[in-house]
């Protein structure tokens, strides 16, 4: 990848303004592009001394980086991206003066998987000393032998602000080493040699590498040590499939202990793990309804573990220190008072001493807003808005609903009703999440809001197989692609109809990845239920998906556990593949796919489009060159969602009496 970042003085970007716009509320409907253009402001991050923050400024697919003085508000241009196919992955301060920039682009050397490669750059806060840090790495620039990923920071080493710990994974090796990198020159010195096949390295708050793990093949292995100068020892090994946890989560203040996620009453909980005895210790935190999803680390270079993350409906944090919890509640009250509704907030960056912080605030009806917080003065000020043109007054709240599936299982879901419409006989779109081993939650979601803004009710179903609701709910979805998972989605739609919320004659379905697969299964297995369906990056043939195992780390063992059929009777895979059931489709279909998709090959949608054409079905297929399993370029993202919104508006219109079935 050629260097695509240059020093820039972008007057046009600065002219847009540095402070949040406070204009009048936009008339409804809000333009689709307002939801899906690249946000004008993103990824603000505070320097170690707390005197400067940096951010990414976007105008179309032009991206530029600025530093901003906390004291004066002066903006200084640092760098820009001059290649639209190169995207900024993140920016972060290495110390009080030096900013790191990660950029990614298409990896033109790989075969089979359309992956992307990263390059790491550095620039000073005044815009000087811009350089590509990986240029001096071994193997750099030697064609297919170059290091593909050069931005994997292991630790920011605040005690030594001139260096960071970074992962080095040369080609043709099965695991990385850890190097100490000079933040100005990029030159490397070995800190931890490649060891025992470890793929993930972890450093404690002091920057000592004291653990590493590997989840590959059929086993999970954790290596650790108390003394950073001692040899690493294998402290845990368990089957990767068929047994839950323990799994490394973070470092304890006591070097003899680790935090791990492990089973507790059918859900993931946080425990202590004793390195000496190699045994699970005290239960730290468990939630009675949902899984603990991980530890919460203090924003900043040290990343101390200070709490636990979990989500019932909205993301939440349990703090270990009562003082931290009290401050969190105090801030939450301040944000609720300002916005008039409960808000989610999280400290995303802080100075080295923790006094100055940046906080991101959002809700389902409020795009992210950024605040500067000075703890010493108890000073809180709004500094940036991610999407200032979108006003909460025009958006629609989301609420939790529960319904019973046909076999009695309780299914949690989220319902968004269009503002200003009575909750009766609405056109409804079921928006199916991907994975399927992820989950929906209540949060800022432009996909949901753009549909609600057009008068559609939106139902998001956490069907069996969704993560976060305990093992019983998750494992009930194993090997149920197109079967009980799909029944849960169908039962959710029928529940909305029975409640009188949805008009039975105006139901749509949509999703990406697994959600796209579920969309097409819905159109083929319950064709009477839907008037239209839109699928992006969809699996259309499960057998073909499994044939791609050789390109991915998880491989056949993972697929056999989760999907099944790979080693036995494959007839079930064919029965549950929409590609083989095209004749059953009655409704119009919208398909989309990126040609460089690294998770679901573009041929999945190409073959589906061809099958729909041959069967003389009504369909539209949009293919996006160089896009991956999602969207990188603004123009493509906007085009997809403008097409999708128009597709549902056209196909979910009330029928005239003459066209009633």
Q: Which of 10-14, 136-140, 145-149, 616-620 has the lowest mean pLDDT?
A: 10-14
Instruction: Give the pLDDT mean for 461-487.
Output: 96
pLDDT in the model for residue 658: 58
Contacts 24+ apart (CB under 8 A), 285-292: 285/318, 287/312, 289/469, 289/470, 290/468, 290/469, 290/470, 291/267, 291/467, 291/468, 291/469, 291/470, 292/261, 292/267, 292/268
Is the backbone of residue 238 left (phi > 0), alpha (psi -120 to 50) or beta? Answer: beta
Instruction: Give the pLDDT mean for 270-284.
Output: 97
The answer to whether residue 10 scores a pLDDT higher than 80 is: no
Contacts 24+ apart (CB under 8 A), 357-363: 357/46, 357/299, 358/44, 358/45, 358/46, 358/53, 358/299, 359/331, 361/335, 362/443, 362/444, 363/339, 363/392, 363/443, 363/444
pLDDT tens-digit map of 647-658: 999 999 998 765
φ, ψ (nearest 5 deg) of residue 636: -70, -45
- Distance in angstroms (rounded) separating the CA atoms of residues 491 and 203: 47
Strands (E), 163-304: 163-168, 177-182, 188-192, 200-203, 209-216, 219-224, 233-239, 247-251, 257-264, 267-274, 279-285, 292-297
pLDDT tens-digit map of 395-444: 999 999 999 999 999 999 999 999 999 999 999 999 999 999 999 999 99
Is the backbone of residue 265 left (phi > 0), alpha (psi -120 to 50) or beta? Answer: left
Instruction: Give the pLDDT mean for 54-59.
Output: 94
505-541 burial, b for 16+ CB within 10 Å, e for fewer? ebbbbbbbbbbbbbbbbbbbbbeebbbbbbbbbbbbb
* Residue closest to 94 by CA, chosen among 55, 58, 121: 121
The answer to whether residue 572 scores a pLDDT higher than 60 is: yes
The per-residue pLDDT of the chain, averaged, comes to 89
Instruction: Give the pLDDT mean for 497-524.
Output: 97
Which tokens is 98 given? Answer: 């030096």
Torsional sign, CA 395, 397, 402, 403: negative
Instruction: Give the pLDDT mean for 43-47.
Output: 96
The answer to whether residue 187 scores a pLDDT higher than 80 is: yes
Instruction: Give the pLDDT mean for 460-486.
Output: 96
Q: Look at the pTM and tell me if it is higher than 0.85.
A: yes
- Distance in angstroms (rounded) separating the CA atoms of residues 158 and 53: 17
* Residue closest to 505 by CA, chosen among 426, 612, 588, 409: 426
**Gyration radius from the chain CA atoms:** 25
The answer to whether residue 140 scores a pLDDT higher than 80 is: no
pLDDT in the model for residue 567: 56
The answer to whether residue 475 scores a pLDDT higher than 50 is: yes
């Amino acid at each position: 990848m050629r260097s695509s970042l240059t020093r820039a003085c972008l007057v046009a970007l600065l002219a847009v303004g540095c402070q949040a716009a406070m204009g009048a509320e936009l008339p409804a409907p809000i333009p689709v592009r307002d939801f899906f253009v690249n946000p004008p402001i993103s990824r603000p991050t505070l320097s170690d001394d707390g005197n400067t923050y940096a951010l990414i400024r976007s105008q179309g697919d032009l991206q530029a980086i600025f530093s901003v003085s906390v004291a004066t508000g002066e903006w200084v241009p640092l760098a820009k991206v001059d290649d639209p196919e190169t995207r900024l992955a993140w920016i972060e301060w290495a110390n009080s003066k030096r900013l790191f920039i990660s950029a990614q682009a298409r990896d033109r050397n790989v075969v089979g998987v359309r992956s992307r490669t990263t390059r790491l750059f550095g620039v000073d806060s005044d815009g000087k000393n811009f350089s590509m840090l990986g240029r001096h790495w071994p193997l750099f620039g030697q064609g297919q032998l170059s290091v593909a990923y050069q931005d994997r920071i292991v630790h920011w080493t605040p005690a030594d602000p001139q260096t960071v710990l970074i992962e080095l994974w040369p080609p043709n090796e099965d695991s990385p080493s850890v190097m100490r990198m000079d933040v100005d020159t990029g030159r490397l010195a070995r800190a931890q040699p490649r060891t025992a096949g470890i793929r993930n390295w972890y450093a404690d708050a002091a920057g000592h590498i004291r653990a590493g793990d590997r989840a590959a093949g059929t086993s999970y292995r954790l290596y650790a040590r108390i003394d950073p100068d001692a040899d690493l020892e294998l402290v845990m090994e368990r089957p990767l499939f068929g047994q839950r946890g323990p799994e490394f989560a973070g470092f304890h203040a006591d070097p003899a202990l680790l935090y791990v996620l492990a089973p507790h009453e059918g859900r993931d909980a946080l425990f202590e793990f004793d390195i000496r005895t190699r045994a699970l210790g005290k239960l730290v935190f468990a939630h009675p309804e949902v899984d603990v999803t991980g530890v919460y680390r203090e924003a900043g270079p040290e990343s101390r573990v200070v709490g636990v993350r979990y989500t019932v409906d909205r993301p939440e944090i349990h703090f270990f220190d009562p003082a931290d919890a009290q401050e969190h509640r105090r801030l939450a009250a301040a944000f609720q008072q300002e916005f008039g509704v409960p808000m989610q907030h999280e400290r995303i960056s802080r100075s080295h001493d923790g006094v100055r912080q940046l906080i991101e605030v959002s809700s389902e009806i409020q795009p992210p807003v950024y605040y500067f917080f000075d703890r010493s003065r108890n000073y809180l000020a709004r500094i940036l808005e991610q999407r200032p043109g979108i006003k909460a007054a025009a958006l629609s709240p989301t609420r939790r609903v529960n319904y019973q599936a046909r076999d009695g299982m309780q299914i949690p879901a989220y319902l968004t009703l269009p503002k200003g419409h009575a909750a009766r006989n609405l056109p409804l779109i079921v928006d199916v999440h991907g994975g399927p081993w992820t989950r929906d939650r209540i949060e800022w979601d432009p996909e949901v809001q753009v549909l609600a803004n057009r008068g559609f009710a939106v139902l998001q179903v956490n069907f069996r197989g969704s993560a976060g609701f305990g093992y019983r709910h998750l494992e009930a979805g194993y090997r149920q692609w197109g079967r009980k998972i799909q029944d849960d989605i169908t039962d959710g739609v029928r529940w909305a109809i029975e409640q009188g919320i949805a008009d039975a004659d105006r139901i749509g379905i949509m999703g990406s990845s697994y959600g796209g697969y579920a969309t097409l299964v819905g159109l083929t297995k319950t064709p009477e239920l839907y008037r239209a369906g839109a699928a992006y990056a969809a699996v259309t043939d499960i057998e073909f998906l499994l044939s791609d195992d050789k390109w991915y780390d998880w491989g056949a063992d993972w697929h056999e556990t989760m999907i099944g059929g790979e080693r036995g009777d494959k007839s079930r895979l064919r029965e549950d593949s929409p590609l083989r059931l095209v004749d059953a489709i009655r409704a119009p279909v919208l398909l989309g796919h990126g040609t460089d998709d690294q998770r679901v090959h573009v041929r999945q949608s190409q073959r589906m489009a061809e099958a729909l054409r041959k069967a003389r079905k009504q369909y539209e297929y949009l293919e996006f060159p160089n896009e991956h399993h999602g969207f990188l370029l603004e123009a493509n993202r906007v085009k997809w969602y403008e097409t999708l919104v128009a597709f549902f508006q056209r196909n979910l219109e009330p029928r005239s009496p003459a066209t009633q079935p």
